[in-house]
Chains A and B, each alone.
Chain A
Amino acid sequence: MKIRSGFVSNSSSSSFLIYGAEIDKSDIIEMAKKMGAIEKMNQDDIEWDKENSEKRGYTRYDPEKEREDYEIIEWLEENFDLEIHNPSYYDCCYVGSSWSNVGDDETGREFKARVKKSFEEAGLDCELSTLAEAWRDG
């Protein structure tokens, strides 16, 4: 049997195949802030403190704390059924949902509509398409 030679060498690589859009990271952060992401994250921390700070011995809420971009992106992912890829040293994000998330009873068209709805709920108004990308992490 002929086996192909010239293998690609493995490395720490990341990839995705999503239905979504490529958006400037600064636009996403700005949109999240307009939606009250910071206030909601603070509220989440206050509630966490009520339940956990005594037994854990520390608090999360800090009114002076500056939120990092990655925290805001994680908050968006957790609250709007979206995945957001932000390659290192790259100032844009790939936002959407992996094609492998298509449900067994869901058609391709229904999947696209579901992703579009998640975008609208997150305040993101843009044209969506299938995006595939891979990059080295290290």
Chain B
Amino acid sequence: MKIRNGFVSNSSSSSFCIYGVHISEEKLASIVKNIPKDVLEKTDCWQEFFNYDGDADIEKTIEVFADNCDIDDLFGSIKGISIEFSPYGYYIGRSYMTLDDTETGKDFKDSVENILRPFGFEKFGKFEEAFNDNF
């Protein structure tokens, strides 16, 4: 049987299939401002920021961090977690492409929830979307 190696010609599009959360910009901003300090301290992005400004008042530092942090840096620094943005808000989770041979579907979902719940995320689910990049 002949197997095709080409690809769809009009495919200037972004797509993803993740298990995680779909969240608006406003809700995400609120979550970032309220991330517990002990959770923030485990992220590489926070470590860099905190070390740079380590002597500052901690509450003030968190506020400044929340105001200035880059969402990609914050969640992209968490191993296995990817962030996708769209006209409808953000999708944060783990791509099904990373599910490995020995991992069950439940293990996969649990791994995402265990990472993201401490940040305050809820309402987890499967999200499969595509957006055109050309406009």
- Please report A residues at the B interface, Cβ cutoff 8 Å: 1-4, 7-11, 13-17, 21-24, 27, 31, 87, 89-90, 92, 98-100, 102-109, 111-112, 124-127, 130, 132-136
Contact = CB atoms under 8 A, between A and B. Distances in A.
Nearest to B6: A92
B113 to A, nearest CB: 13
B15 A130 contact: no
Chain B: number of interface residues, binned into ranges: 35 or more
B126 interface: yes
B66 A127 contact: no
B35 to A, nearest CB: 11
Contacts of A21: 3
Given A8-B132, A102-B108, A105-B104, A135 B97 contact: no
Contacts of A125: 1
20 contacts: A1-B29, A1-B67, A8-B13, A8-B86, A9-B87, A10-B88, A11-B131, A15-B16, A22-B4, A23-B2, A23-B3, A100-B126, A107-B102, A108-B99, A108-B101, A126-B1, A126-B3, A132-B17, A134-B15, A134-B131
